[in-house]
């Protein structure tokens, strides 16, 4: 799904979290949001998801104005840094939960549910873990369960907020490959927040650099790294030459 964000602003009290943000994301793109802490990245994800209403501006999903559409009607999946899996539920039940809360879709019967859960677990190669509990899995495996659960809503848009932040380098690497692979396979449109520039460089089709609620630069990783558009971007990306 194409996402078009027009002149978006969001304030919290006196604090301006987003100001005059314009951004077009093409269907199938994997876009990374970079920028210092507090620069508005998470707020943008929350606005795209419908968890925050913007003060000004519009969000288009394809050619539909989705600005005021409730979150449950947006076909948006979420993955956060701290896997929000239910600890008392098995992997199967966690993913099934995702299927049972789907908006505007009648609840699947028991057999259909089981077959869909297994399909999703197969996608993240965790069919063998269906009857395990999250505590019996590694961090990377748990995050793959979270991904399967997010995909259960058959999202058109996947939003990821520092999804691999809490994991060690090797697992992060594995999950990055996973995300890119899933992305290529199902043709999702994804937006992810990361503090890891290498991660953005490696997997994103385009990178957006935020500074104090505004966009400093948008471009392919190569464009942004090789030709920083502003002194802020240059310094933020840590160039010393
Ligand atoms: P980032 O993801 O780039 O770190 P955020 O979008 O999370 O930045 O936050 C931008 C700023 O908006 C932060 O300084 C935060 O304190 C503020 N903020 C975010 N959500 C709320 C809220 N619900 N109420 C008040 N302030 C908020």
pLDDT score recorded for residue 241: 43
pLDDT score recorded for residue 81: 72
Domain coordinates in residue numbering, the chain: 1-75+155-241, 86-153
Q: Where are the beta strands (DSSP E) in 126-198?
A: 157-161, 189-193
ipTM value greater than 0.90: yes
Instruction: Give the torsion through C-alpha atoms of 99, 116, 151, 50, to 10 deg.
Output: -30
pLDDT score recorded for residue 61: 95
* 163 within 8 A of 190, measured Cβ to Cβ: no
| CA-derived radius of gyration, the chain | 18
Ligand 1 site, CB within 6 A: 12, 15, 17, 35, 37-43, 193
* 162 within 8 A of 193, measured Cβ to Cβ: yes
Closest ligand 1 atom to 45 CA = 6
* 17 within 8 A of 43, measured Cβ to Cβ: yes
138: DSSP letter: -
Q: Looking at ligand 1, which residue's alpha carbon is closest to its atom 16?
A: 38
The model carries a pTM of 0.89
Choice from 9, 33, 43, 210 to test ligand 1 binding pocket (greatest atom count within 8 A of CB): 43
Q: In what order do the strands lie in the sheet with 64-65?
A: 15-25, 3-12, 56-61, 64-65
Q: Looking at ligand 1, which residue's alpha carbon is closest to its atom 11?
A: 38
* 32-73 pLDDT tens trace: 999 999 999 999 999 999 989 999 999 999 999 999 998 888
* 84-138 pLDDT tens trace: 789 999 999 999 987 776 655 667 788 888 998 999 999 888 999 999 999 999 9
pLDDT score recorded for residue 167: 76
For residue 17, how far is its CA from the centre of ligand 1 (angstroms)? 6
* 49-59 pLDDT tens trace: 998 999 999 99
Per-residue burial over 81-98, b if 16 or more Cβ lie within 10 Å, else e, is: bebebeeeebbbbbbbeb
Q: Looking at ligand 1, which residue's alpha carbon is closest to its atom 21?
A: 12
SS3 163: coil
Instruction: Give CA–CA dist 54/73, Å, rounded.
Output: 17
Q: Looking at ligand 1, which residue's alpha carbon is closest to its atom 22?
A: 12
Pairing label, strands 30-34, 76-80: unpaired
Instruction: Give CA–CA dist 25/222, Å, rounded.
Output: 18
Bridge-partner residues for 24, per DSSP?
4
- For 1-75+155-241, the fitting CATH number among 3.40.50.300, 3.40.50.2300, 3.40.30.10, 3.30.1120.10 is 3.40.50.300
Closest ligand 1 atom to 46 CA = 6
């Amino acid at each position: 799904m194409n996402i078009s964000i027009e002149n978006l602003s969001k304030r919290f009290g006196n604090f301006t979290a987003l100001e005059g943000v314009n951004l077009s994301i093409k269907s199938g793109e994997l876009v990374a949001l970079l920028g210092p802490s507090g620069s508005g990245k998470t707020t943008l994800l929350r606005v795209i998801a419908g968890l925050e209403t913007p003060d000004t501006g519009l969000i288009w999903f394809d050619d539909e104005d989705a600005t005021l559409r409730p979150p449950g009607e947006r076909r948006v999946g979420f993955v956060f840094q701290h896997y929000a899996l239910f600890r008392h539920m098995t992997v199967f039940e966690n993913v099934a939960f995702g299927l049972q809360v789907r908006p505007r879709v009648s609840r699947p019967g028991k057999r259909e549910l089981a077959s869909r859960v297994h399909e999703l677990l197969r996608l993240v190669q965790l069919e063998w873990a269906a009857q395990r509990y999250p505590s019996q899995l590694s961090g990377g495996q748990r995050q793959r369960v979270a991904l399967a659960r997010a995909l259960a809503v058959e999202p058109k848009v996947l939003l990821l907020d520092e999804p691999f932040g809490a994991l060690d380098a090797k697992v992060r690497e594995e999950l990055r490959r996973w995300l890119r692979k899933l992305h290529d396979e199902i043709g999702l449109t994804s937006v992810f927040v990361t503090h890891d520039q290498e991660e953005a460089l490696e997997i994103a089709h385009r990178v957006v650099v935020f500074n104090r609620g505004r966009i400093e630069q948008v471009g392919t990783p190569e464009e942004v790294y090789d030709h920083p558009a502003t002194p802020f971007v240059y310094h933020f990306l840590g160039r010393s030459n």
